[in-house]
Chains A and B, each alone.
Chain A
Amino acid sequence: MEDTKIIDLYFARNETAITETDQKYGTYCRSIAWNILQNHEDSEECVSDTWLRAWNAMPPQRPRVLRQFLAKITRNLSLDRFRAGHAQKRGSGEVPLALEELKECVGSGDPATEAERTLLAQLIESFLQTLTQRDRGVFLRRYFYMESRKDIAARYGMKETTVRLCLSRTRQRLREYLRKEDFPL
């Protein structure tokens, strides 16, 4: 079913919307959750919660791209669950590695204020637009979708070392960008 028709079902409060969403995007969202949680039960819970969040969000929201709209919900729910379960220890999966890498950009200080978080999201958005399509894609595959460097390399037809270099360079550029924008690091 086309995305526009699925969204129409949400707006009509037709519960088939959830069945259709699960049919079309269930596997996709489960893979996102799995990348972060590495656990089937937790991944299933997050995907179920994603459908509930989507139901509550539409209306009034009408996403431009349904697939990515759902991806964001799943990704953020999965990260919340990851943090709740891994507060005191390191686990497997890509999230701990990704966090270590991102420390290069912003250090490891106190949590940001709400205003800082809002500003940071806007700066990230504008920073991403300064990147080439490939570099942007590699960055998002790593830090949004939590894919491994190996999977990213396969996706883009690159060597793994090239992916590592690309990410390192982008993180340096991000740090410089935030400094230039006088963002408190």
Chain B
Amino acid sequence: MNEHDLLDAIGKTEETMLEASEKRHIPWKALLTAAACLLVILSSALIALHPRIAPGPNVPTTLPGQNIMMGLPGQIISTEHISWLQNSDFYAVESDLSGSIPGHYFYDSQFFFQMSVEARVLNVLPDTYQYPGDHSNATKYRILRMELLDAICAENMPSEFFYLLPADISTDLSQFDSLILTIAQIGCENVMMRNTDQRRFEAFRFLFSSGSFEPHRGAVIACTDEKPDPRLWQLEGWRDWEGWPDTLSDPDRYSSYPGKRDRRVPEIKAAIEQGVRDYQQKNYFLQPNAVIRNSQLNWAEAQAVLELVTPFENGFYSVSYWTNPRNVIYQRFANGFETNAYISINLDTKEITAANTFSDTDLSTLPDLKPYIASAGSIAPPDPRNSDRDPYAFCGVKGSYEKHGEHVFGIVTIYWGYPSVDESEPYVDCIVRKIRTSSYLLVYPNGKATEVEDYDALKALIEAHTG
């Protein structure tokens, strides 16, 4: 033990404790704060007493009707992967996925003591997918339909789920008896992914990934005959990370990694369970609709919102769940693009907020983003190893709609990056190390657009138009 170890241990201090250390110790501020609180309380009392001011949630009783599916040719939203939850016994426990960096993080591996399951591959969807905002040529995924065999540390996991793997590694995993996976839930439900082969958006009720771009670094333990199967490391893409298979066999390295070679499946599962207990990583599966249906949170306004945001009846919404504060957020999509319209339900205060709601008129007059995205998307990123490349390489493009006051705009965001020139790093995507920037097109309802160079200029332009 030496001073460097102590310095490293101090570096693991929990974030809320660090946050408290940043607050300056000036007692007189407490007096001002108390005075401000008193003022708020008095004001609230006045508002509550005034007959013409009605506090409380401000949720419209209806929202605009059916989503209009325009957008890129052939771009539709498919519902084939969504099976509506019918089982009233299927309940959720709230999840605490936040927290400091896991206490046991293997620097060279992507294994986390979080949600873990044993599953087998039912089939691999035939197409390639990207996240909706990503129109670059990199960062593509394949999606596997999995059958749950054992929820090791994943309460209330569904019997089938979808699992994301990078498209550049082999998905020939059905040859193994089972896979032990450390997984993270993506969003909460109705996760939108862009099918790049069929040129459409598809919504997946529940979608999981390993949580990293490199699941071959230990996030998957392939098992045959109840023990880790080294054939995994012979598959395309999985064998690229040299050293890891030897590490698994070396008894002196990473002894607490669950998938060491000499272990059998029951021991691997026990090691995972112990790790989750040791590092207090909670591991519940999030289902906000079920949370809202929980008898403790059963109030009329929340039920009204739930009826409103049922996907494909009143427009398409994706759902996410925040733990701090505890909010469920329904974000509206239109024409396959995200918007800044949302409904937020605070599970503690019961406050419901609907913001930037799009009217029927707004939806029927949305500007067409196709030409702008198509022209930006036709630029292929250059090979960064080309020595005479431009300093900025095109990385990707994204479309969205925003409502500000009574005005609706389309926004096309074009990402520029400076790809790494380190030859040891594969050009996987445009997550750059040095310089990043974006340029924007503000598209008006008449279809014309103004180009601006950065985010501040975009905000200023929007403000100029909205007054």
Tell me the A residues contacting B by CB distance below 8 Å: 4, 8, 11-16, 18-19, 22-23, 48-49, 52, 55-57, 59-65, 67-69, 71-73, 75-76, 79, 83, 98-100, 102-103, 105-112, 114, 116-118, 120-125, 128-129, 133-134, 136-137, 140-141, 143-144, 155-157, 183-185
Contact = CB atoms under 8 A, between A and B. Distances in A.
B456 to A, nearest CB: 9
Given A59-B186, A140-B18, A13 B131 contact: yes
B13 A125 contact: yes
Nearest to B324: A64
Contacts of B152: none
Contacts, number: 203
Contact of B21 (A56, A121, A137, A183): A137
A69 B431 CA distance: 19
A61 B99 contact: yes
A69 B100 contact: yes
B20 A136 contact: yes
Nearest to A18: B436
Contacts of A11: 186-187, 320
- Chain B, interface size category, equals 35 or more
Interface centre among B4, B21, B139, B255 (most CB of A within 10 A): B21
Contact of B5 (A18, A116, A134): A116
A13 B21 contact: no
Interface of B: 1-26, 97-104, 112, 114, 131-134, 139, 183-187, 209, 211-213, 255-256, 320, 322-324, 327, 395-396, 398, 413, 415, 430-431, 433-434, 436-438, 455
Given A128-B13, A140-B17, A116 B99 contact: no
Given A72-B18, A184-B1, 4 more contacts: A55-B431, A60-B112, A121-B12, A125-B14
Contacts of A14: 131, 133, 398
B433 A52 contact: yes
Interface centre among B5, B101, B102, B437 (most CB of A within 10 A): B5
A14 B411 CA distance: 14
A166 to B, nearest CB: 12
A18 B417 CA distance: 11
A23 B455 CA distance: 10
Interface centre among A56, A79, A121 (most CB of B within 10 A): A121
A69 B438 CA distance: 25
Interface centre among A102, A108, A157 (most CB of B within 10 A): A102
Contacts of A4: 322, 324, 327
B322 A134 contact: no
Contacts of A124: 6, 9-10, 12-13
A155 B24 contact: yes
Contact of B101 (A57, A114, A136): A57
A8 B324 CA distance: 12
Contacts of B134: 13, 15
B455 A19 contact: yes
Contact of A68 (B2, B18, B185): B18
Nearest to A116: B1
B207 to A, nearest CB: 11
Contacts of A106: 1-3, 5-6
B100 A117 contact: no
A56 B22 CA distance: 26
A4 B12 CA distance: 22
B439 to A, nearest CB: 11
Contacts of B322: 4
Nearest to A9: B133
A19 B433 contact: no
A62 B326 CA distance: 13
Nearest to A57: B101
Contacts of A103: 2-3
B1 A107 contact: yes
Contact of B13 (A15, A102, A144): A144
Contacts of B184: 59-60
Given A19-B438, A56-B213, A102-B6, A72 B11 contact: yes
Given A48-B434, A111-B2, A144 B10 contact: yes
A54 B98 CA distance: 14
Contacts of A110: 1-2
Contacts of A23: 455
A63 B19 CA distance: 12
Contacts of A99: 3-4, 7
Contacts of A52: 431, 433
A62 B103 CA distance: 15
Contacts of A111: 1-2, 4-5
A185 B6 CA distance: 11
A146 B322 CA distance: 33
A185 B1 contact: yes
A28 to B, nearest CB: 10
Given A59-B209, A72-B18, A137 B7 contact: no
A8 B329 CA distance: 11
Q: Which 6 A-B pairs have the closest CB atoms?
A: A60-B184, A60-B211, A68-B15, A68-B18, A65-B15, A102-B3
